[in-house]
Amino acid sequence: MGRIALLIVDMLNDFLDPAGALYCGDDSRRIIPVVRELLETHRAQDSVIIFVSDHHASDDREFLLFPPHCVQGTPGAATIPEIEVRSGDHHIYKNRYSAFYGTDLDEILRRESVDEVHLAGVCTSICVMETTSDLRNRDIRAIVHRGAVADFDPKAHDFALERMEKILGAEIED
């Protein structure tokens, strides 16, 4: 039996601070205490903790679709102060939607013998869903915590939760 990992996706200033470049809205602020509690629970259970952070060069092509956000070296790219990152945690920097694309996430999960990943963070319909899809492609069990994910678009959020459950086989926990 493998280990469990908690993947905390993009809990960054540019998404969760009302002054952030791509603020996900007030609903996104409501998940912060849930994510903190989930993090404490997983730390107590000795789960593998992995922070995933959007991290872009100033001329990233993603800025053709979205306003510049999470630019390397800016305060917007930093984890929100309400979430504690510890020295033993893994930290992955990505510049695409999936936490697997161009990162060493696959290697970390294999090295840590992870076969179940719990997901929390933003945005449900973009980075959380794309990462869940890649977990499915690797036959890794995915559990998305409904109260610990948020999106700037409520319809997209609901669609993503349904798609992750029905199409990607993720478990959606309340």
What is the predicted pLDDT for the residue at 5? 98
pLDDT tens digits for 133-155?
A: 999 999 999 999 999 999 999 99
Domains and CATH numbers, the chain: 3-173 (3.40.50.850)
High-pLDDT (> 70) share of the chain, %: 100
Residues 6+ apart with CB under 8 A from 130: 96, 97, 98
Which has the closest alpha carbon to 70: 50, 90, 52?
52
Asked if 164 contacts 170 with a C-beta cutoff of 8 angstroms, the reply is yes
Quote the pTM value.
0.96
Whole-number Å distance between alpha carbons of 111 and 44: 21
Asked if 86 contacts 69 with a C-beta cutoff of 8 angstroms, the reply is no
Asked if 116 contacts 5 with a C-beta cutoff of 8 angstroms, the reply is yes
What is the predicted pLDDT for the residue at 1? 75
In this structure, the number of other CB atoms found within 10 A of the CB of residue 41 comes to 12
One-letter amino acid of 153: D
